[in-house]
Structure 1
Amino acid sequence: MGPLVVVTDSVFPTLDPAREVLSSIGAELRVAEAPDPFHVASLAREADALMVTYMRIGAELIQELPRCRIIARFGIGVDNVDVAAATRAGIVVTNVPDYCIDEVSDHALAMLLALARRLFPADRSVRAGTWSVSVVTPIHRLKGRVLGLIGFGKIARSLAQKARALGLEVMAFDPYLDPEFMEAHGARPVGLEELLRGSDFISIHVPLTPETRHLLNDEAFRKIKPGAFLINTARGPIVDEEALLRALDSGQLAGAALDVLEREPPHSDSPLLRREDVIVTPHIAFYSEEALIELQTRAAEEVVRVLQGQRPRSPVNPEVLDISHARLGRSAQ
């Protein structure tokens, strides 16, 4: 009998790409009916691997997985997985860190252009019977304006390249990267305060961590250049939405485009949904048909590698690999 792989939750129309990869080792794939910890625990107690999309995988659930060798995330961020608890349990956590670079950078650029050209207010005004430039004034020329990138990973670097082609100047804040590397990839390295004060457009590209939660708060919004636009395709809680609303009400921010929110989906009465100066999309920046196939395939390949005793390509907690391999050796005895 082959290994058991449990999928906790899925947004995919089909899991055939993952199933095909896992079939190479004769794995049985089971999909949870609901992302409920008790249901998943009952399904996964004998699982050799867990594959997760958005479900929260906390320490209590991890304790219920005595056979599990790998938790593979269908995605880039791993803020929904208690990585420390997985490490203590000797379970390697993996992600797919570069599967949707073009999709997310394209989405962020589309949001930037929609804000800059005020496409949504223009569309709504025409549908309401008004044909006038007055509903979108003022609009400023894009060339020569400044895009500030918070974080300068692969997606941000892709966005920087595309933005420069439109004549935007690019600066970036990323304390973990060498300034010379950032300059070589077309962004002027700056501190966070300089970025906030000098950017016409601010795009967020950092993971959600205790340090980045509510990074954009009242204090940060007070420093932002008046009339700037904010774009978030990273994680919702990086932006304090109450502070965001205050910055919009005061006019400090001219508008925002959000693919991610603090609560997903939002309440129907969320004030963000009633604003003409806010664009909201349903966490779809990652999506293309090609990206979904690549995501499933590469996440499943990580499971196959670990279950065959090989090193995964994208371990989030590489320090656990020795422990994981030791467990694998004991299980084979």
Structure 2
Amino acid sequence: MASAPVAVYADVVDLDPAPGVRLLEESGFEVRVLDSADPDAIVSGAHDAAALLIGYAPVTASMLDRLGSLQIVATQSVGIDSVDLDACRRLGIAVSNVPGAATEEVASHALAMSLALVRGLPFLDRAVADGVWDGTREQLLRLSEITVGVIGLGRIGARYARMIGPLVGRVVGYEPYGTAPDGVEQVELDELLDVSDLVSLHLPSTPDTQGLLDAGRLSRLRRGAMLVNASRGDLIDTAALLRALDDGVLSGAALDVLPHEPPARDDPLVRHPRTLVTPHAAYLSPASARDYVLHQAQSVLAHFAGTGTNLADPG
């Protein structure tokens, strides 16, 4: 009698894997939950695994070479940048992601951050806590008169654009991989930066997008512009962002993601008086927590049923 295929959860980040575990076990898998991102612990605990389910744990070529039974790596998020795709292609290992489980949550979070910046909420709150009762200390804008630039118009960027569109005067968008949805004027990146009062980032982390907003691009922004990032921390040059905040090029930045997470206690972006920072929480809700876990497990089942999509397949 053939033994059951093994599915292993590596790091479990913020979510309860129980619904996914139950689904996989009901489908005939033996399931282990390691709750670790340590490479050696993953290799040891998944030595006979056919499926590896990860949160944010890096999956390197060295690890993959030691996992001889592995057929699929299933990420818990849209991003697959923590997985060595070249090694997966070489070894014939499939890669899957969870593309739509938190589209509404992330778009809503970016919208909330945008409105908070436009009306100066985090900065006025801090001032009141410090004993300053003066609303004129912030430049509070009228929503219907601002231009919002959306960089990246995939599922989340397009949803954000649809949410904020009725509230503001104009929405422009830059989409390197496709076309803009209705209601969004598609422009080149430099033009978007030139005309926007607020810019919201919605791109994956790739070699082409890492450091996309560097000193040169940030300098194109209107003085006093605002920046929202609920996608990936490495899209922005951190040193350039700090200079833009210090110099007043940016009047504020709202960040749900940072280049290094969790940040050090003295991280200058976290401690800067003109930032609003949340702990990579944009995707969270009871509904998305359920959907992330179930969709991740379903992607494993789809692979073994021959109906899955392999993101490591160059074709």
By the TM > 0.5 criterion, same fold?
A: yes
Q: Give 3-state SS (helix, strand or coil) of 1:131's partner.
A: coil
1:315 to 305, 310, 315: 310
Q: 1:5 aligns to what SS in structure 2?
A: strand
Please give the alpha-carbon distance, in whole angstroms, between the structure 2 residues aligned to 1:249 and 1:130: 21
Q: Are residues 1:153 and 2:148 paired?
A: no
- Superposition map of 1:200-211 within 5 A: 200-211=197-208
Structure 1 residues 149-158 or 15-24, which shifts more?
A: 15-24
CA positional deviation for 1:25: 1.8
1:60 alignment partner AA: S
Q: In structure 1, the residue corresponding to 2:145 is in which secondary structure?
A: coil
SS of aligned partner of 1:143 = helix
The one-letter amino acid paired with 2:43 is A
User: Of residues 66, 84, 87 in structure 1, which corresponds to 2:86?
Assistant: 84
Amino acid at match of 1:311: T
* Residue pair 2:120, 2:139 contacting (<8 A) in 1 also: no
Q: What letter is aligned with 1:20?
A: R
Deviations 1:268-325 (A, max 9, x none): 1111122221011110111111001011101101111223x3221x4312458xxxxx
Aligned to 2:53: 51
Q: Given residue 173 of structure 1, which amino acid in structure 2 is its aligned partner? A: Y
CA shift for structure 1 position 33: 4.3
- In 2: Cα distance, 1:256 partner to 1:63 partner: 41
The equivalent of 1:245 in structure 2 is 242
State how far apart, in whole Å, the 2-side matches of 1:34 and 1:298 are.
Answer: 21
**2 CA distance for matches of 1:266 and 1:220?**
25
Residue 167 of structure 1 pairs with residue 168 of structure 2? yes
| C-alpha separation in 2, matches of 1:127 and 1:176 | 45
Q: Give the length in aligned residue pairs.
A: 313
Amino acid corresponding to residue 294 of structure 1 in structure 2:
D
Structure 2 CA distance for partners of 1:250 and 1:96, relative to 1, 3 Å: same
Q: Could you tell me which amino acid in structure 2 is paired with residue 177 of structure 1?
A: G
Unaligned runs of 5+ in 2: none
In structure 2, what is the Cα distance between the partners aligned to 1:24 and 1:87? 30
Note if contact 1:4-1:46 (Cα within 8 Å) is conserved in structure 2.
yes
* Distance in 1, Cα, partners of 2:109 & 2:310: 27
> Once the 2 structures are TM-superposed, how far is the Cα of residue 144 of structure 1 from its aligned partner?
2.5
Mapped contact 1:149–1:204 kept (Cα < 8 A):
yes
TM-score of the aligned structures, taking structure 1 as reference length:
0.91
Equivalent in the alignment of 1:225: 222
Whole-Å separation in 2 of the counterparts to 1:33 and 1:97: 23
Letter in 2 for 1:10: V
Instruction: Kindly provide the amino acid, as one letter, of the partner of residue 155 in structure 2.
Output: K
> How far apart, CA to CA, are the structure 2 residues paired with 1:28 and 1:168?
55
Residues 129 and 240 (structure 1), Cα distance of their counterparts in 2 relative to 1, 3 Å cut: same
Alignment correspondent of 2:29: 27
Structure 1 residue runs of 5 or longer lacking an equivalent are 321-333
Between the two proteins, what is the percent identity of the paired residues? 37
3-state DSSP class of the match of 2:206? coil
Structure 1 counterpart SS, 2:251: strand
Q: Retained in 2: the 8 A contact 1:8–1:32?
A: yes
- Contact 1:245–1:272 under 8 Å retained in 2: yes
Matched, 1:215 2:217: no
